[in-house]
């Protein structure tokens, strides 16, 4: 497998069963792909697997864009490279899909990148870049633009995450909750919610946050997307 050339994306790239970018970008040639590969693979023990790997890069010649691209390449490009090596050796894959979504807020580009892994784990990462200033967009900048204080944001985020947690485990009996440490896991989950959780402006202009929610079985926690100011 060869690393794909950084092909410019002008319109939404429609994939089989997935979408790399939701809509036509306001700025042409704003996003390209470090890796773009789809196919069908059978490993040495007969496992049949379909894969689709799309790793984005911001097409801008600034230090901020280079830093973001390096982070994406290390976190998601490295995962894809591992799968290519597995294919070359006839081994099974442990990640089958990497995809990205681009959202625009004026000249601000927000990238949401996701990848799956064995065991039902999904990796999420968000990156914000302003083409006008050539700078990275921080969580604090997003809140400032919306006129929202950190205190208000965190209060709403924790409220939404608690709702999500309770909804996920609503079918458990009191005995099952006690055995799984429900109260302790909820407390741990709420304790993770701070200003370090990655934030972006989503498709409909809403604030979205990548949050960790404790698991009562399996992995210690899983990533989820939370919309702190959208209720229900």
Q: With beta carbons less than 8 A apart as the criterion, state whether 50 and 40 touch.
A: yes
Enter the CATH code of domain 7-137. Answer: 3.30.565
- Categorize the per-residue pLDDT at 6 as very low, low, confident or very high, splitting at 50, 70 and 90: low
Q: Which residue is it, tokens 């990548």?
A: 210
pLDDT of the residue at 13:
32
Average pLDDT value over all residues in the chain: 88
pLDDT of the residue at 30:
93
pLDDT of the residue at 12:
34
- Categorize the per-residue pLDDT at 27 as very low, low, confident or very high, splitting at 50, 70 and 90: confident
Q: What tens digit of pLDDT does each residue of 72-100 get?
A: 999 999 999 999 999 999 999 999 999 99
Domain ranges of the chain: 7-137, 148-226
Among the listed residues 150, 159, 176, 161, the one whose alpha carbon sits nearest the alpha carbon of residue 222: 161
183 compared with 17, residue with greater pLDDT: 183
Q: What tens digit of pLDDT does each residue of 119-141 get?
A: 778 999 999 999 999 999 999 99
Q: Is 228 helix (H, G, I), strand (E, B) or coil?
A: coil
The half-sphere exposure of 146 on its side-chain side, counting CA atoms within 13 A, is 19
- Categorize the per-residue pLDDT at 164 as very low, low, confident or very high, splitting at 50, 70 and 90: very high
């Amino acid at each position: 497998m060869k690393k794909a050339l950084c092909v410019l994306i002008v319109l939404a790239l429609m994939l089989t069963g997935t979408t790399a970018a939701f809509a036509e970008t306001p700025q042409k040639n704003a996003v390209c792909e470090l890796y773009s590969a789809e196919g069908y693979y059978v490993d040495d023990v007969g496992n049949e697997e379909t894969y689709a790997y799309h790793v984005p890069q911001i097409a801008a010649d600034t230090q901020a864009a280079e830093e973001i691209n390096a982070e994406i390449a290390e976190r998601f490009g490295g995962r894809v490279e591992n799968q290519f090596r597995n294919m070359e050796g006839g081994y099974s894959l442990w990640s089958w899909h990497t995809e990205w979504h681009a959202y625009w807020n004026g000249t601000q580009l927000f990238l949401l990148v996701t990848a799956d892994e064995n065991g039902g784990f999904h990796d999420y990462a968000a990156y914000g870049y302003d083409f006008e200033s050539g700078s990275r967009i921080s969580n604090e900048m997003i809140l400032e633009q919306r006129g929202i204080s950190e205190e208000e944001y965190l209060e709403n985020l924790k409220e939404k995450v608690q709702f999500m947690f309770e909804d996920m485990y609503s079918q458990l009996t009191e005995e099952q909750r006690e055995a799984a440490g429900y109260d302790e896991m909820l407390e741990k989950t709420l304790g993770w919610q701070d200003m370090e959780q990655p934030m972006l402006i989503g498709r409909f202009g809403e604030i979205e946050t990548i949050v960790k929610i404790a698991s009562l079985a399996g992995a210690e926690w899983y990533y989820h997307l939370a919309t702190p100011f959208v209720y229900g």
